[in-house]
Structure 1
Amino acid sequence: MDERQLRILRELGELGSVTAVAEALHVTPSAISQQLRLLQRSIPVPLTERAGRRVVLTDAGQALAGAAIEVETALARARHAVTDFTEQPDGEVSVAAFHSAASAFFPPLLRSLAGPGRPRLALADEDVTQDRFPVLTRDYDLVVAHRLDHAPPWPRTVIAGTLLREPLDVALPVGHPLASNRQLSPRDVADQPWITVHDGFPLMATIEAIASVANRRLDIVHRINEFAVVAEAVAAGGGLALMPRWTARPHPDVVLRPLSGVQARRHIDVLHRPERAARRAVRTVLAELHRAAAAIQGRDTGAPQPDAGTSAGL
């Protein structure tokens, strides 16, 4: 067996089809199949089996795929140890983030890492469903992702570190009758029109929890993922919305109120493949992300106050 064959087995375990692996690795499906056959010849037990139309790993295949992660990490470290690449302080580091995190984290990264001898950033916004964030680690050194407090953990194929555990508040237009409340319950807001994210995105689970606790279906009138647009829609009277307390930009005509009775908090995590952190430049950017997160949370002065608008708690 060799490194390439182990990499293919690892990707097959995640993607579930030879075609998907071929697309991810930019080769033909026949080349992938050939490498899998060569790998199987060196192993005395089956590594793959059919499950309907999918190709899945057997227990032996899963064990070898898990070992492949360690092998790939070790080989990456070995290569980097004998090259200047590992300790190159100004290498390029690619970072992807969902929209509100990009707005909050990209500016401090650009400011703190400016100048000679610092990593060269390649930034990108990626607005994807929760299950797609780990996939992005194939294309980016670091991926800033989010999931709800009670959501399943990220897969073990990636390293995850928490940057923030951010409260989600109810956003209302200034002058709304509920804006005078210090906090809101699901029953308070269940009969209001709502602006939510699209299905499959993490915040929908909290929306569903609000409806469950209030024992009624919410009237969802708009589907908008970008919080800057959500804030404008809320300010214009389009409905209530869930907004992150720290990473969404304040709007002068919108107030935030804490939500009681449901788990309303999200993890903002940074994901990467184990071998990526072998590079000094990546570790530098990772450290700066944690510093930026501490600064963002440090601006929190507590729950939003009735007359403070969205700037409270930000």
Structure 2
Amino acid sequence: MELHQLQILRELGALGSVTAVAEAMRVTPSAVSQQLAALQRGFRTPLTRKQGRTLVLTAAGEVLATAGADVIDAMAAARSALEDFEHDAAGAVTVSGFHSAGQALFGSLVREVGGAESAPTVHLTDEDVAQSEFPALTAQYDLVLAHRMEHSAPWPSTGIRSLTLVREPLDVAVAASHPLASRRSLSPTDVAGERWVTSRIGYSPDDVLRAIAAVTNRPVQVQHRINDYGAVAAVVAAGRVIGMLPRYTSRTIDDDEIVRLPLRGVNTLRSVDVLARPENLRRSSVQVVIEALQRVMARLTTADPATP
């Protein structure tokens, strides 16, 4: 039993297929299958089974994967001890962010990290995925910026750690010429009959619209489904639909032609979190980047006039 075999077993449980594991670990599916077969030879109890055309973990495989995660974490702790001994905080750190977080944070993050005495080398990527798909990205990146509606299921606790950067409301956005623009806040009843531009299904704004429909017992009228908040703001400014925008992470958008209004009566809060594998959080370079993200987000929220 070798460490990389335990890593493959853990990733199979987390990602759900040999192909996904191969992509995440940048090896061939054949190499993944060979390592799983080699690991299986050390145990009488089957660790995997076929489910249709997909290979999944058995109950025994899940037990070993969980125990293996502790072994991987322990090995990472040993490496971290050596890194701390050498005071090396200048390692490479890969960061993935959803689009609005990237637009709001990435530029300031680069400047913030660059000002550190021993600056890590940061590699940035944008990943626009549905909420349920963020945890799997931790197999590819050291840090994953993710969003989660507060009323939804928490992030997985096995093999993943989460740190909240901010609790961010989603505000209703209307054109400055819209009759609702003069209001200080809105209720679900105020907006239920409007036509909307919202996100694709599985993303935060669509979750809020479904809550509006449930509270008012009326179907909402979705005219457009757009994930990019800059495009959403432009469509709202045209005056024919209303939409929803995150309060902090879409503030780079020009607001001259739109008005943002709090929505009362449904929970519009989402949590903007950093997700990571536990072993990555032990690295000094990763901690430097997390601390920089916290400072950047704190400045962003403090600068917002709508922040309580």
> Is residue 256 of structure 1 aligned with residue 256 of structure 2?
no
Specify the alignment match of 2:140 in structure 1. Answer: 139
Taking only the aligned residue pairs, the percentage that are identical comes to 49
Which secondary structure state, in structure 2, belongs to the residue aligned with residue 203 of structure 1?
Answer: helix
* Kept after mapping to 2: 8 A contact 1:85/1:279: no
| Superposed CA offset, 1:44-63 (max 9, x none) | 32222233333222222111
Shift of 1:292: 1.9
> Structure 2 regions of 5+ residues with no counterpart?
none
Give the Cα–Cα distance (whole angstroms) in 1 for the partners of residues 259 and 83 of structure 2.
53
Could you tell me which runs of 5 or more consecutive residues in structure 1 were left unpaired when the two chains were aligned: 302-311
What is the aligned-residue RMSD (CA, Å)?
Answer: 2.1
Partner of 1:203: 205
One of 181, 184, 206 as aligned partner of 1:182: 184
Cα contact 1:86–1:280 (8 A) shared by 2: no
CA drift at 1:85: 9.5
Whole-Å Cα distance in 1 between the matches of residues 143 and 18 of structure 2?
A: 26
Q: Distance in 1 between matches of 2:182 and 2:214?
A: 25
2:140 match: secondary structure? coil
Runs of 4+ with deviation above 4 angstroms: 83-86
CA gap of 1:256–1:222, structure 2 versus 1, over 3 A, is same
Aligned to 1:114: 114
Kindly indicate whether the alpha-carbon contact (under 8 Å) linking 2:147 and 2:271 is maintained by their aligned counterparts in 1: yes
Query: Which has the larger displacement, 108-117 or 256-265?
Result: 108-117
Q: Which residue of 1 aligns with 2:102?
A: 102
Q: Is the 2:77–2:279 Cα contact (8 Å) retained in structure 1?
A: yes
Of 69-78 and 144-153, more deviation after overlay is shown by: 69-78
Q: Which position in structure 2 is the counterpart of 1:73? A: 73
Could you tell me which of 267, 278, 284 is aligned with 1:280? 284
Deviation at 1:37, TM superposition (A): 2.4
Contact preservation (8 Å) 2:235, 2:241: yes
- The alpha carbon displacement at 1:254 in A equals 0.7
Task: Indicate conservation of the 8 Å contact 2:94/2:141, yes or no.
Answer: yes
Deviation at 1:313? 4.2
| Separation of aligned partners in 2, 1:185 and 1:169 | 11
One-letter identity of the residue aligned with 2:222: I
**Equivalent residue, structure 1, for 2:50:** 50
1:66, CA displacement in angstroms?
Answer: 1.0
Q: In 2, Cα distance between the equivalents of 1:113 and 1:290?
A: 12
- 2-structure distance, mates of 1:281, 1:122: 12
Q: Deviations over 1:202-225 (max 9, x none)?
A: 321111111121211111111111
C-alpha contact (below 8 Å) 1:191/1:218 kept by paired residues? yes
Select which of 266, 290, 296 maps to 2:294.
290
TM-score, length basis structure 2:
0.91
AA matched with 1:60: A
Distance 2:56 2:258 in 1: 49
**Offset, 1:240:** 0.5
Deviation at 1:167, TM superposition (A): 0.8
- SS of equivalent residue, structure 1 residue 238: coil
Distance 1:246 1:83 in 2: 35
Cα deviation 1:116-174 (Å, max 9, x = unaligned): 52122222222111122122222222111101111111122211110011011100111
